[in-house]
Structure 1
């Protein structure tokens, strides 16, 4: 049996969309018959739930004390990778399902299939998907760009992300919008993070008023703007000044992760008000607080280790809740924003120095 990878799945899911073209009645009938002859909904749901079978047994996962900061063992690293693969697959399936829903709603809207059971399309949408009519309209409006982004990049964007890249499409065209998403995704991966609506908007705002018409030149401008905005300056000196004014949208581990959908939902952090999961440094590469100095350590390395201990202490102290509480007072709004921007600038300057420093 031939292999069936994620690219094949995307091709199947986002194939030629005959439903949007004229005279496509026969194609719609054919597709409907294929769906009816295919697996029942319960079977499809079961297929997603069976992803959990790929997780390591919970009994085999070693319980670790809250204060344990030791390196992960080989077994733990394998279990972590196995688990994260399942999580990523489940998330991708969920993201793809959103745009399947959007395509279905577009057909319901065109055929006015709600006309005998509901007083409006909005009421029909709310009844069918349990979300507001506004959310349904946004999905339908953004679906064409989302599907093309999925086709060309192999990654299914989230509704909140497409809401941003739609602005890019309106100003520069669809090709630029897809390129912007891909560039932000790739540069974010270099930084160990993921694209967010915030980072996409920051890059969108950094683009010049006009982009080159030629595709490769356009891509180059967008990629360079992305790298500068996210803190990987393409024209920056090896060590940037601490007064660097180009603050990175991803500079802080606890910066907003706006990967929620159009309803305003965002990924939750832990119950203590700590940064959202996924915004922390990757396990295994995260520096620890108590680094044991060797008997003879170069002076400059001691300086870096001391700085790292200080940064760890600051990162623990400056939680998301601290920002929330500080922003709550209207009387201190100007001072709060001034301090917040200063923190972003300083932390970005430090990170840029580390990014451009020689590799060990």
Structure 2
């Protein structure tokens, strides 16, 4: 469905008749100007969003899968999945865009104090009109200029939580740096098969140097280098583990073919190559307490499995797998999937509460 083109409508509006008859021009211009300035009807705008659903596959055509089935998707299922995800992405983008339209509208209401005869405060007006808190509305209005600048330059409408984080970058380094940070985090996250999050944007922001170069190209290079280091994407064959806090294990890395794993920080007895050694040994498994909370038991079981995987996935396994012929998913795809999954697990651990040592 074509978008509402006010510019084209105005060009058509002021096109003069060839015969020179202007007797009805004034009335026509007045009526059509009012229509153009009003923009598309609310019902049309809502319909445009709802019509996105027409791009979804028919529900009756989707094969129902039993609980617990982890089989590969068929070619048809993969096509239906991609088709559906495109519609979901468009709907999410439309929703994000609408919030920034609301923010611009509220900015005008606040400036003109148009609420003054119907509501006691602007906050009451906001709650009445959009059903959100005054605090949320203030944040939305404050973040709207950066959100619109980001959308215009990157072609992506950012989520409010994302702009809340990049606003910190804007305050410290300026709008250009903030937009660049969003764009770079978005693109680097895509390399990992992920999407930008408020957490990843914040993580990159806090690891930027105190000052950025004034030259845009140099500024972008610094932001990209920081983003890759933070999110765990290196330009070379190896991929570093993501680091989200200065006090986290900055020297640790996910071992990749052809590279050496960084030494574990002193005192990290649980890291591969530390106390348990390459082949494991005493203390390789965590001792179970008499009573272990369910969630802690889950983490302990996961750690045992990770240690077993670490011992199984040697450099030799990677090297030999790289030379084997493959049908369908090959070595490169599997290797990247392993790296993404390892990065995702480490991200979760790094963002988790530190807690207290046993007996502490």
Distance 2:117 2:357 in 1: 57
Structure 1 moving runs of 4+ over 4 Å: 30-33, 234-238, 242-245, 297-302, 320-324
Distance 2:350 2:67 in 1: 25
**Structure 2 counterpart of 1:239:** 259
**Structure 1 counterpart of 2:106:** 105
Distance 1:149 1:31 in 2: 31
Matching of residues 33-112 of structure 1 within 5 Å: 34-36=36-38, 38-112=39-113
Distance 1:299 1:102, change over 3 A: closer
Distance 1:244 1:193, change over 3 A: farther
**Structure 2 counterpart of 1:218:** 219
**Structure 1 counterpart of 2:173:** 172
Distance 1:298 1:83, change over 3 A: closer
**Native 8 Å contact 1:54 1:86 kept in 2:** yes
Superposition deviation, residue 35 in structure 1: 4.8
Superposition deviation, residue 239 in structure 1: 2.5
Q: Pick the structure with greater CA Rg.
A: 2
**Native 8 Å contact 1:228 1:234 kept in 2:** no
Distance 1:334 1:172 in 2: 37
Deviations 1:312-346 (CA, angstroms, capped at 9, x unpaired): xx99xx9x99999x96xxxx82339xxxxxxxxxx
Deviations 1:72-125 (CA, angstroms, capped at 9, x unpaired): 111111111111111111011001001000000000001000011111111111
Q: Are 1:334 and 2:356 matched, yes or no?
A: yes
Distance 1:167 1:32, change over 3 A: farther
**Native 8 Å contact 1:145 1:166 kept in 2:** yes
Give the TM-score of the pair, scaled to structure 1. Answer: 0.61
What stretches of structure 2 of length at least 5 have no aligned partner? 9-31, 239-257, 266-294, 296-316, 323-330
Higher relative contact order structure (alpha carbons within 8 Å, sequence separation ≥ 6): 1
Distance 1:139 1:75 in 2: 41
Distance 1:224 1:298 in 2: 27
Distance 1:244 1:106 in 2: 52
Distance 1:90 1:212, change over 3 A: same
Distance 1:157 1:244, change over 3 A: farther
Distance 1:236 1:164 in 2: 30
Superposition deviation, residue 33 in structure 1: 5.1
Distance 1:82 1:244, change over 3 A: farther
**Native 8 Å contact 1:95 1:157 kept in 2:** yes
Distance 1:141 1:177, change over 3 A: same
Distance 1:182 1:191 in 2: 15
Give the TM-score of the pair, scaled to structure 2. Answer: 0.61
**Native 8 Å contact 1:184 1:200 kept in 2:** yes
**Native 8 Å contact 1:146 1:162 kept in 2:** yes
Distance 1:211 1:72 in 2: 46
**Native 8 Å contact 1:164 1:197 kept in 2:** yes
**Structure 2 counterpart of 1:248:** none
RMSD: 3.8
Distance 2:263 2:145 in 1: 42
Deviations 1:214-248 (CA, angstroms, capped at 9, x unpaired): 11000000011001000013589653525478xxx
Distance 1:175 1:323, change over 3 A: closer
Distance 1:58 1:244, change over 3 A: farther
